[in-house]
């Protein structure tokens, strides 16, 4: 156990030797970014397709929104029980084998005969799509401390592009060949990514040598002993829940109020991808010591975006602007938060990331679970009211941190 200032940076944490050089990073970082985006996209393909999937499998809006919920529950389970293995197993082997399993599960989703099988497949898709959350901590290990935020931001930028482009890609594929084609194509991509990483990644064997039960026990101890980790996880969970509520509800809003086709929804989702540009910007701000101010700005920007979405529901242009601003805010806040979390310990980043991202996706799953009900009962304004309350909760944590005196917090290395 050791004490450290709560705003500890990677440069001041326990020393660790980066395994990447400028030459290798030039090729490895884009490969990691693509792999993160391709794998995490599996969580979002269904969001703009809930209507077509529901009609094909004979269920209504309320049941169809469970697809998003079950996928995120599966992802949360994977974050809790699979991503800690990044601190135990050789990373390249862990990643490539998980991607192969993901490819098989996607074929199950593509061939699902009814909603029960599809929901089960959705859980498994989420469970096995945690590869991105193994690769992001790995990128932190590869980078020298002085550019760690930049590298993590670049890899996270690829992840975020995957999130945003997934909706457009799935809409386009569904329009051309039906919604089942989305999962077939993604399965092929997962196999290609597994091959890419097998060729590009060097082996990395973690220092942790205890058993898997011991690893999980140490993960839960980290949750108890890291107040900064708990606060960052809660704040980002609130932001991601607002993000999920918006993107779960907006396809219905665009279809019913604005009479958009699936192609129109694809173009709308593509506009939102501009928000991924915040990731490298946020990473550089964090490297320069501006994390606290930038996180507050991100939370404020999210509230502005939600206000625009609520007031401008009758104007597609305002909804698109709100989508860009919300994505920019949520993703920027995430990069800044995860940078702070990685700074807590150089030897437990996979476990730290597991706890952090589990909290985030539990928030997203909870939001998606209630969004369908709120949308049916109170419409778009009700969903935006929920989103505003969620961001306000994150803002409350930031205001508390800003107002209290600097203190030393205990953390486990």
Q: What pLDDT is attached to residue 406?
A: 55
pLDDT of 205-257, one tens digit each? 777 667 788 878 887 788 788 888 899 999 999 999 999 899 888 888 888 88
What pLDDT sits at residue 275?
67
Give the position of tokens 């792999």: 35
- Residue 13: the pLDDT is 36
Average pLDDT per 10 consecutive residues for the chain, totaling 413 residues = 32 41 67 90 88 86 80 87 83 92 96 93 94 81 67 77 83 91 96 91 73 81 85 93 90 84 76 68 75 91 94 85 90 86 75 83 84 87 95 94 62 38
Pick the CATH number of 16-411 from 3.60.150.10, 1.20.1250.20, 3.40.50.970, 1.10.3720.10: 1.20.1250.20
So what's the pLDDT on residue 7? 32
């Amino acid at each position: 156990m050791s004490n450290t200032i709560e705003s500890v940076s990677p440069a001041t944490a326990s020393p660790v030797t980066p395994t990447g050089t400028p030459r290798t990073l030039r090729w490895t970082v884009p490969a990691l970014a693509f792999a993160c985006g391709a794998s995490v996209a599996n969580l979002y393909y269904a969001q703009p397709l809930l209507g077509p999937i529901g009609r094909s499998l004979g269920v209504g809006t309320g049941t169809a929104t469970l697809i998003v919920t079950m996928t995120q529950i599966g992802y949360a389970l994977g974050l809790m029980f699979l991503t800690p293995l990044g601190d135990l197993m050789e990373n390249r082997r862990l990643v490539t084998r998980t991607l192969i399993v993901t490819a098989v599960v996607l074929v199950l989703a593509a061939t699902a005969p009814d909603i029960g099988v599809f929901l089960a497949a959705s859980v498994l898709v989420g469970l096995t799509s945690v590869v991105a959350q193994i690769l992001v901590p790995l990128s932190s290990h590869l980078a020298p401390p002085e550019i760690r935020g930049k590298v993590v931001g670049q890899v996270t930028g690829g992840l975020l592009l995957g999130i945003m482009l997934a909706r457009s890609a799935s809409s386009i594929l569904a329009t051309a060949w039906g919604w089942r084609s989305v999962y077939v194509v993604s399965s092929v991509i997962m196999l290609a990514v597994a091959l890419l990483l097998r060729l590009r990644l060097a082996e990395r064997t973690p220092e942790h040598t205890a058993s898997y039960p011991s690893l999980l026990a140490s993960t839960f101890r980290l949750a108890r002993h890291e107040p900064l980790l708990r606060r960052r996880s809660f704040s980002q969970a609130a932001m991601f829940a607002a993000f999920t509520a918006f993107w779960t509800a907006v396809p219905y809003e665009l279809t019913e109020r604005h009479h958009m086709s699936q192609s129109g929804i694809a173009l709308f989702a593509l506009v939102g991808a501009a928000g991924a540009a915040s990731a490298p910007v946020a990473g550089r701000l964090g490297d320069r010591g501006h994390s606290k101010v930038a996180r507050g700005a991100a939370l404020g920007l999210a509230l502005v975006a939600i206000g625009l979405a609520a007031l401008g529901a009758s104007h597609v242009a305002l909804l698109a602007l709100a989508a860009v601003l919300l994505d920019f805010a949520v993703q920027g806040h995430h990069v800044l938060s995860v940078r702070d979390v990685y700074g807590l310990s150089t030897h437990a980043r996979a476990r730290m990331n597991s706890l952090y991202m589990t909290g985030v996706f539990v928030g997203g799953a909870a939001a998606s679970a209630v969004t369908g009900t709120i949308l049916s009962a109170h419409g778009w304004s009700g969903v935006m009211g929920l989103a505003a309350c969620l961001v306000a909760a994150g803002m409350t944590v930031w205001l508390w941190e800003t107002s209290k005196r600097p203190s030393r917090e205990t953390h486990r290395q």
